[in-house]
Amino acid sequence: MSKAIEALHKGRGIWRADLRSFLGPELRRRWHVPGDADPELVRVIVVARLAAVLAEFGDPGLAEVFWAAFNVGLTQDAESRTLRGRFARLGAGRTKCDDQRELFTARIAESVRRPQRPLESAQLAAARVLLAGEKAAPRRGELSAVEAFVDLPRYVLSRFPQERLRVPLLGDGPLVASLGPDCEWYCVFTDDWTLERYRGVVGDRWSGIRHWSGRELATAAVRRGKPTGVLVNPSAVPGSGTERTVSLPPAVLRTMSGS
């Protein structure tokens, strides 16, 4: 298992053709890789696990080198086939990048020794965004899904709790989306324009709009009695506009609410 972690950055990184067998049975078990997972899903799971480790650093300045080390979010050309080529593309000092890469590898190994919870659907969705390299710039004052995922601590601690959000209501509670059997999601919006664009696609079937702070939403989600996350600025069209959506899974909301 340790050999796979120590060598994950080599060659094409997470794009190696034999990624599943390369991980080995023990690492696949710890990372909850299904026995019938196809190569794409294996890659998504690996990226989601790596992203969780990156979030532990709490330093957005490390993200560029971190993802270059493992070949995530880059154009797959001749330059990206080697670690040297990927680091050269950054224009950063090779020694510094190598030192940081060794730090990343050590932290991944440390993480794997801890119990690994199954990944949530929001984590897998964010990993797919990272793999696709969808780093479209958000509008001023917004945080893209990629930025929020690699720098979730900053967003959760400094912005989301105080943010005044538009919350569509169904009955006497927030609008809920079900994206899978394990979790439901409150759908909320940061501005009227985004809210109205969503309403224009799905239709006006709401009982009203309420303005809540992020902290109030987190508390309501935790007290709901079933796993509930928050989708900030969700897209009404599947596969479109996801770069503007920030997904806050239940575990993050529990931390924010102090539960």
DSSP string, the chain: -HHHHHHTTSTTGGG-TTHHHHHHHHHHHHTT--TT--HHHHHHHHHHHHHHHHHHH--GGGHHHHHHHHT-SS--SGGGGSHHHHHHHHTS-HHHHHHHHHHHHHHHHHHHTS--PPPPHHHHHHHHHHHHT--PPPPTT---HHHHHHTHHHHHHHTGGG-EEEEEEETTEE-EEE-SSS-EEEEEBSSHHHHHHHHHHH-S--SEEEEEEHHHHHHHHHTTSS-EEEEES--SSTTSSGGG-EEE-HHHHHHHHT-
What's the pLDDT score for residue 240?
Answer: 46
What's the pLDDT score for residue 204?
Answer: 64
What's the pLDDT score for residue 69?
Answer: 87
What's the pLDDT score for residue 98?
Answer: 82
Residue 83 CA: distances (Å) to CA of 42, 55, 98, 108, 143: 21, 22, 9, 18, 29
Mean per-residue pLDDT, 112-130: 79
Residue 44: pLDDT over 80: yes
Mean per-residue pLDDT, 225-247: 71
Taking only the tens place, the pLDDT of each residue in 199-232 is 776 666 788 899 999 889 989 999 988 889 888 8
Mean per-residue pLDDT, 25-42: 91
Domains, the chain, with CATH or none: 2-119 (no CATH), 145-257 (3.40.1350.90)
- 139 or 204: whose pLDDT is higher? 204
Burial class from Cβ neighbours inside 10 Å (0-12, 13-18, 19+) for residue 185 reads buried
Residue 64: pLDDT over 50: yes
Mean pLDDT over each residue of the chain, to the nearest integer: 78
Return the structure tokens found at 119: 């990944």
pLDDT category, 143, cuts 50, 70, 90?
very low
Taking only the tens place, the pLDDT of each residue in 167-204 is 998 888 888 887 667 788 898 988 887 787 777 766 66
What's the pLDDT score for residue 20?
Answer: 93
